[in-house]
Structure 1
């Protein structure tokens, strides 16, 4: 089944009131963010989507695929489920080496030549994480950031999932700007749960949550995208100092002042 869009039909908030936003839809190629304070219902929303809610969850939302109820096999057959959900908590039961794990998945999915697909997956993952993944390492030996990067790459490249839900990838040490840039090369629907300003501003739109209810869907304006470029410069400065701390170096106020001056001078 070719998927063209997904629709979330609004239900009810935590207090039993009807959601202010009656619903929203995302089409192939869209990148959207879910924003709101802790406890606002962001994770509950992506869980509704991942479960193809049909009025049978506490929120009573409904999920439609191409304007229709999802076919039963989406829930009954994991191989046909079009949604990949990458959560904050990743753990592997398999202690297979990374390369073997990916090769088996590629063969199961019948995704072209396994060795080529595996190479593309590893290249994708290594562009997201600061510490390259050793293909001979057991899956259970990967760090949290490596695990999350590998799962994202696996879902995009090998799983070829048309709809990918990502829960707070900024907490895994992943290069967010690089991740968004890479993901946009694939014609899929990406929905981020995030507290990260940069991710929200680089998305096509942001869904605002409060009190367990969808409040509004706000399209990102051009001026906000320009702000994202400036904020990235600040972010890169922070990453520079973080990497120096990790390398065991000392920092100086002079270096900070010099970088702030250069950043200010670079702005129009």
Structure 2
């Protein structure tokens, strides 16, 4: 049924019309050295305009090439339309560094934020690593990660076309010599984004809102600061990435609007886990995982009293932000007047 629908598209639509909905199909034609096909024609009509020797090079004729295109597009559609929605993930505890059982099971639903707290070197990044690889009792901690209450096969874990987890690490260094516009366009194309130009603009505007220092579409990604890089990747993850699980390592060090960043991801129904030393982020989460001796020590619900204290923490945070801005702009730090009383 799926192939019949795709075959009808290939048969009846012009190449130009196909490329509007499936821009990555151009890569298919490039692979067969057919990038110069007349796009005003259907695939069959365009193939009649080229010498048969051009297809003979690949051991194909017009019919077999069309069938290869149908298979290629069917794979794209399957990845786009038939991917199971992830409603929750479950972390089943393993063992800490002393070999003691963690004895915890935590299920996190779409749209929830969980913070991971603990001393430096306690094992926060190891927990993020277990989730990133969707561990099945095969990492040093012996933890297991379930998706929608089910264990995963190796095929599901390592399917490159079905990446479930996106990780934003402390160091976001680009190596490609692209500007921001080219980088976003490449991602939009590879992820088959509909209304690509609109999504690209949305990502760019959002990234500039998150970043402390503005940049342009022409800025080379290799020239972005750490904060700008992180802001760009958070916007990219929110608007372009289909990965439903997002792992963030110490966003407080990135020089971005971290509360807005977390809000943006949860609005898009992502499951967000964030390793942090920041009390504002830790208490803004729905739950927090406390790490000790390389293991999950306990899981805490954010209490009503802690939620009430957030307003005072936000005032403290605003004062610290103002001091940072004064120092960045070469100003003298003015006397601090901190009012934590209720308005």
TM-score relative to the length of structure 1: 0.93
CA shift, 1:149, in A, is 1.2
Q: Is the 2:234–2:261 Cα contact (8 Å) retained in structure 1?
A: no
Q: Is the 1:5–1:26 Cα contact (8 Å) retained in structure 2?
A: yes
Aligned pairs for 1:48-197 (under 5 A) are 48-197=130-279
Find 1:9's aligned residue among 92, 110, 132: 92
CA shift, 1:240, in A, is 0.8
CA shift, 1:74, in A, is 4.1
Distance 1:73 1:128 in 2: 36
| 1:46 and 2:121 aligned | no
Find 1:202's aligned residue among 267, 280, 284: 284
| Larger RCO, structures 1/2 (Cα 8 Å, 6+ apart) | 1
Question: Per the alignment, do residues 252 and 22 of structure 1 end up closer, same or farther by CA in structure 2, a change over 3 Å counting?
Answer: closer
Distance 2:207 2:160 in 1: 23
TM-score relative to the length of structure 2: 0.73
CA shift, 1:12, in A, is 0.6
Q: Is the 1:206–1:217 Cα contact (8 Å) retained in structure 2?
A: yes
Q: Is the 1:73–1:80 Cα contact (8 Å) retained in structure 2?
A: no
CA shift, 1:39, in A, is 1.2
Paired residues, number: 260
Distance 2:266 2:133 in 1: 25
CA shift, 1:121, in A, is 1.1
The secondary structure found in structure 2 opposite 1:177 is: helix
Q: Is the 2:204–2:235 Cα contact (8 Å) retained in structure 1?
A: yes
The Cα RMSD (Å) is 1.4
Q: Which one has the largest radius of gyration? A: 2
